[in-house]
Each structure stands twice: as C-alpha cells, then as structure tokens.
Chains A and B, each alone.
Chain A
Amino acid sequence: MAHTLKVTLTVYIFAMLCYAVWYPLQVLDLANLNPNDEWLGSLCYLPHGARVLMFCFFRYYSLPGLYLAEIHGPTYIHHLGYMDGWNIAALASLFSVVAAVELVKWTRATPGFFSFFKKINFENYKFLVLVIVVSALLNGLLVNSMLSLMNSTSIDVITVFRFALGDLLGSFCVTLGLWIIFKTLTDNRLIINPED
C-alpha cells in the first residue's frame, strides 16, 4: 500500500510537471505551428514522455497517478484546448502505453517467454525507445478515433500523424531533460552515480 502511494505521488507530480513545462510552450507557439488554437496535436507532447517513462519503470502501480494527471493536467492547465470526452480518451492514451509494453513482450523482442507479469529490463533503453515508438503510433490512432466517435466529428489524418510525431518527440525530450538533470546532479555529486 505504501509503495502504491509513493509511486502514485511520484508519478502524479512528474506528469503534472511535464504538463506545466509543456503548456507555456504550447501557448507561446514560437514556431507558429497552430495559430488558430485548433485540435491539431502538439508536435512535442511532453506528457506522453511521462506516461511512457513512469509506466515502464513503475509498471501497473503508475496507472492511478497517471490517470489522475491525465484528468487534472488538462483541467488545471489547459482545459480549453482539449476536446470533450478527454477523460475517457485519456484511458485510451494510457492503454496505448500498456499495449505497447505488452506488444514488445509478445513479439519476443525482450528475452524470455511472454507473460503479463514479466518485467522488462528497461535499463536497456532500446526497449524504451521501442515502447515510445509503438505507443506514439497507437496513441495517435486510438485517442483520435475515440474523440471522433464521442464528438461525432471527423479528425484529419494529419492530426493523427501530428499526435504520433508529437508523442515521439515529446518522449525523447523528457528523456533528454531527465538525462541533463541526472548528469548535472551526478557531476556535482548531489546524487551518487548508480554504478558507484
């Protein structure tokens, strides 16, 4: 119970932090990629990085914290920019990550036999990259399909493509950001290198 609580808190704070960093970038829109503030899909969606990283390392324990952040992030930070029914579509976003991890296991890209309970060693970052790519593709398709069904509107293929690309770039940016923080902290000996 204590572990679940700790993981939920960590995941929630980290995901909300990603939302908080991403939102100003989205509003400023320095590259003028979305001048009319339409439902186009961000080209660097940092919260997807939080989803993937947290799910890969904390596994199913991370889902409550992630879902809370999926609801609170848009509500507190950018409620106008999201389509109706996001609370349900967020489930599809989380499912895309879960499905991507299970797919990576199922394809035997990871060593050993397939099992839902088997843990992938994500210290090998290549598996993480694989999950990022697969989940980004799934997320673009699933979320936009759900939103289009719920709102009875059609969503452009370009939007789906932007979603996938945004999730991909966002996840890489989060990983890069974490690496810079980690590097700075270890170089200043504020945290001990895991191999020491």
Chain B
Amino acid sequence: MSSKYSHELISILKMLKNIEEDLNLIKYSETEKKIYYTIAWKNANDGSCCISDVIDESGFSRSTVYKTIKKFEEDQIIKMHQSSSDKREFNLVLAQ
C-alpha cells in the first residue's frame, strides 16, 4: 500500500476514534484492554493465567493490574478461582 493511501485510510479511523472519545463511548482504557488481552492470550497459549502472569507479561504495576481485574470481575467479563497448587494465587478465566 502506498503511504499516502494508507495515511488517508488512517485519517478516517482517527476521525471515528475522535468521535468515540468525544462522545465518551469508550468503557475501557487502552491499559485495561491490554490487560484483558494478556489474560486472554495467556489462557489461550498456556491453558491458565494467574495474576502474577499478567503482571509479568503486561509490564503494568501490581496495583494497576489488581484494580483492573477487580473492575473486570465486577463487569462479569472474567472469573477468579483460587489456585489449587498455590493458595495465595488466583487463576483468571474469561467468563463465557
């Protein structure tokens, strides 16, 4: 693709993104989305995901990850189960 053509297409996407931002239609921030995708990716690849995995993989601070997971749990988009191998850990599963 030529750069000019792709630049014009990206402009359309940016315009749509600006509408979304101004109308306040975004529920989750980019950080929260990244944390969610880390959980999904880890579950898909390793079959399980615990909070420490999310902190290691995403690179976000422990408090950010905890706060976000709490929000996801309240919105019922992920479920937390206590790990059977390590009682201090919680496994994160995407809600069906």
Contact assessment for B2 and A193 in the assembled complex, using a CB-CB cutoff below 8 Å: no
Judge whether A157 is part of the interface by a CB distance below 8 angstroms: no
Q: Chain B: interface secondary structure?
A: helix
Contact assessment for A123 and B20 in the assembled complex, using a CB-CB cutoff below 8 Å: no
Q: Chain B residues near A3: list those with CB within 8 A.
A: 2, 4-5
Contact assessment for B2 and A2 in the assembled complex, using a CB-CB cutoff below 8 Å: yes
Interface contact tally, CB-CB below 8 A: 55
Contact assessment for B13 and A58 in the assembled complex, using a CB-CB cutoff below 8 Å: no
Q: Chain A residues near B5: list those with CB within 8 A.
A: 3, 6-7, 10
Q: Among the listed A7, A122, A189, A195, which residue makes an inter-chain contact with B15, where contact means beta carbons less than 8 Å apart?
A: A122
Binding site for B on A (CB under 8 A): 2-3, 6-7, 10, 53, 57-58, 122-125, 128, 175, 178-179, 182-183, 189, 191, 193-196
Q: Which of A175, A178, A194 has the most CB of B within 10 A?
A: A194
Q: Which of B2, B9, B12, B14 has the most CB of A within 10 A?
A: B12
Query: In the complex the two chains form, what is the Cα distance from A124 to B5 in whole Å?
Result: 19
Q: Among the listed B2, B4, B17, B22, which residue makes an inter-chain contact with A194, where contact means beta carbons less than 8 Å apart?
A: B17
Judge whether B30 is part of the interface by a CB distance below 8 angstroms: yes
Binding site for A on B (CB under 8 A): 1-2, 4-5, 8-20, 22, 30, 37
Q: Chain B residues near A189: list those with CB within 8 A.
A: 37
Closest-by-CB residue of A relative to B1 is A6
List the 3 shortest-distance A-B pairs measured between CB atoms, nearest first.
Answer: A123-B14, A194-B13, A182-B16
Given contacts A3-B2, A7-B5, contact A57 B11 (CB under 8 A): yes
Q: Chain B residues near A178: list those with CB within 8 A.
A: 12, 16
Query: In the complex the two chains form, what is the Cα distance from A179 to B12 in whole Å?
Result: 10
Q: Chain B residues near A57: list those with CB within 8 A.
A: 8-9, 11-12, 15
Q: Chain B residues near A122: list those with CB within 8 A.
A: 11, 15
List 10 additional contacts besides A125-B15, A125-B19, A178-B12; criterion CB under 8 Å. Answer: A6-B5, A53-B12, A175-B19, A178-B16, A179-B16, A179-B19, A183-B16, A194-B10, A194-B17, A195-B30
Contact assessment for B20 and A6 in the assembled complex, using a CB-CB cutoff below 8 Å: no
22 A–B contacts, CB within 8 A, in A order: A3-B2, A7-B5, A7-B8, A53-B12, A57-B8, A57-B12, A58-B8, A122-B11, A123-B18, A124-B18, A125-B22, A182-B16, A182-B17, A183-B20, A189-B37, A191-B13, A193-B30, A194-B10, A194-B14, A195-B17, A195-B30, A196-B30
